[in-house]
Each structure stands twice: as structure tokens, then as C-alpha cells.
Amino acid sequence: QVQLVESGGGLVQPGGSLRLSCAASGIMFSVHAMGWYRQAPGKERELVATITSLGSTNYADSVKGRFTISRDDAKNTVYLQMNSLKPEDTAVYYCNTFRGEIHYWGKGTLVAVSS
């Protein structure tokens, strides 16, 4: 079955950086678009960034210029490099992919930005 496992979250000070990883299995990774979403306390889940199988990327306006999504098809892994982190970036970050109408989610990794 499809499994997405996120890692790399943690506590960081404002202005700091983190790199999230999502290891995928159970899919032909190289042909799948991948995405990162986040959900802050009391808020709905929102799109952060996506990357197509060809490497085209898309970002939420709130993270443009600070976050970079990338993928390593040899490792079946998608990354989210997060720089210049702000307290409002605090959320659980989820990895996502889809096959037809079915979406798959990881369990999430917590990113907390605080001094």
C-alpha cells in the first residue's frame, strides 16, 4: 500500500531553517506529483508547495521566496527546505500525493517556530 513518512520537523527560532523529508513507498514515485500541506492549530489544512513529475513547482504566496520543494526520484523522497521561518509557519506539515481521485497523506511532522 501507499505509505508517506515525513521527518525533519522540530523547534526552531524565528529566522531559522529546517528541511523536511517525505519518503514514499507503494507508488511509482517518479511519475507522481508530490505536495506539502500544513495545518496550524485551529485552522484548515492548506497547500504549501507542489512539484510535478517533471519538476515544475508551485508555492503558496505566504512561502514564496522562503521555501523550496524538491524531489529525488532515486530515493523516492520529496523535500521541503524552509528558510527564514516565521512564527506563523508553525503547523503540522503533511506530505501528499494522489492517484486518480484518491489522495494519500502521511501522518505529519510538527514544525514549531518560537523564540
Q: What is the DSSP string of 87-106?
A: GGG-EEEEEEEEETTEEEE-
Q: 66-94 pLDDT, tens per residue?
A: 999 999 999 999 999 999 999 999 999 99
Predicted local confidence at residue 103, as pLDDT: 94
**Residue 35 near residue 97, CB atoms below 8 Å:** yes
Q: Is the pLDDT of residue 100 over 90?
A: no
Predicted local confidence at residue 22, as pLDDT: 98
Task: Tell the residue number behind the cell numbers 520529496, with chain if given.
Answer: 78
Q: What is the DSSP string of 18-63?
A: EEEEEEEESS-GGGS-EEEEEE-TTS--EEEEEE-TT--EEE-TTT
Distance linking the first and last C-alpha atoms of the chain? 40
**What grid cell was written down for 77?**
523522497
Average pLDDT over residues 21-41: 94
